[in-house]
Amino acid sequence: MEVREIYVKVLQIVEYFLQNAAHFSIQELKDYDPSVEEIANDIKGLSNILKSFASSSSYEDENMAINAMQCCFEMERLSIAVRNSNQSELDEIFRRLEMHVNVP
């Protein structure tokens, strides 16, 4: 599997999550299956693979790895916000995730 394929998978996972859960209440997000934390962990695993591949690759590959790691970071933040029932944080995190998914 190439760097771009892994990167696209990360974006597809985040985009699918956004399409299905962006307007959920905190309780609905707490009940989401798989959990936000599980999704964040899966993205982290893929992002770490990307980071390994990209460290010896092109500038473009490194940029994809960085964006994937940022998606991972935002999903981890989302998981914490859900756990802490922090609604104001959720809106900002969803906005940031949208930006990362919609990069050219």
Plot region of 85 (φ>0 → left; ψ -120 to 50 → alpha; else → beta) = left
Q: Quickly count: other Cβ atoms within 10 Å of residue 44's Cβ.
A: 18
How high is the pLDDT of residue 3? 83
- Evaluate if residue 21 carries a pLDDT over 70: yes
pLDDT one-digit tens code per residue, 31-76: 999 999 999 999 999 999 888 887 776 888 889 999 999 999 999 9
pTM: 0.89
pLDDT one-digit tens code per residue, 76-88: 999 999 999 999 9
- Evaluate if residue 104 carries a pLDDT over 70: no
How high is the pLDDT of residue 58? 84
How high is the pLDDT of residue 2? 83
Domains in the chain, number: 1
Contact call for residues 5 and 54 (beta carbons, < 8 A) = no
Residue range(s) defining the domain that contains residue 39: 3-101
Distance, CA of 53 to CA of 65 (rounded, Å): 9
CA dihedral over 40, 29, 86, 11, signed as positive or negative? positive
- Evaluate if residue 16 carries a pLDDT over 80: yes
Say which amino acid occupies 28: E
Q: Enter the DSSP assignment of 33.
A: S
